[in-house]
A and B are shown apart, each in its own frame.
Chain A
Amino acid sequence: MIPLSWYLLLSAVLFCLGVAGFLIKRNLITVFMSIELMLNAVNLSFVTFAHQWHAVKGQIFVFFVMMVAAAEAAVGLAIIIAVFRVRQTLAVDRIDLMKL
Chain B
Amino acid sequence: MYLTLFIVFAGLCLAGAVNLLLQRHPINSALSLIVVMTSLAVLYLLLGAEFLAAAQVIVYAGAIMVLFTFVVMLLNAGREERTLGSRAAKAVGFPAVVVMLALIATVIVKATGLHAATLSDGITSTVDLSRVLFRELLLPFEVTSVLVLVAILGAVALARSTEGERTGGK
Point out the residues of chain B lying under 8 angstroms from A62, CB to CB.
Answer: 49, 52
**A75 with B26, Cβ < 8 A, contacts A17-B17, A40-B40, A90-B75 known:** no
Interface residues of A in 1-49 (CB under 8 A from B): 1-10, 12-21, 23-27, 29-30, 32-34, 36-37, 40, 43-44, 47-48
Interface residues of A in 37-71 (CB under 8 A from B): 37, 40, 43-44, 47-48, 50-52, 56-57, 59-60, 62-64, 66-71
State in angstroms the CA–CA spacing of A44 and B84 once bound together.
34
The 5 closest A-B pairs by CB, nearest first: A71-B151, A23-B93, A78-B158, A78-B155, A27-B80
**A63 with B68, Cβ < 8 A, contacts A3-B116, A24-B21, A29-B77 known:** no
- 5 A-B pairs in the complex with CB atoms less than 8 angstroms apart: A12-B104, A14-B36, A44-B44, A90-B26, A90-B75
Point out the residues of chain A lying under 8 angstroms from B48, CB to CB.
Answer: 51
State in angstroms the CA–CA spacing of A3 and B43 once bound together.
13
Residue of A13, A17, A29, A57 touching B68 (CB-CB under 8 A): A29
Interface residues of B (CB under 8 A from A): 2-3, 6, 10, 13-14, 17-18, 20-21, 26, 29-30, 33, 36-37, 40, 43-44, 47-49, 51-52, 55-56, 59-60, 63-64, 67-68, 71-72, 74-75, 77, 80-86, 89-90, 92-94, 96-98, 100-101, 104-105, 108-109, 111, 114-118, 121, 124, 128-129, 132-133, 137, 140, 144, 147-148, 150-152, 154-156, 158-159, 161
Interface residues of A (CB under 8 A from B): 1-10, 12-21, 23-27, 29-30, 32-34, 36-37, 40, 43-44, 47-48, 50-52, 56-57, 59-60, 62-64, 66-75, 77-82, 84-85, 90-93
Residue of B13, B17, B80, B144 touching A68 (CB-CB under 8 A): B144
B126 to A: closest C-beta gap in Å:
10
Contact between A5 and B111, CB atoms less than 8 A apart:
yes
Contact between A91 and B124, CB atoms less than 8 A apart:
no
Residue of A47, A62, A67 with most partner-chain B CB within 10 A: A47
Point out the residues of chain B lying under 8 angstroms from A52, CB to CB.
Answer: 114-115
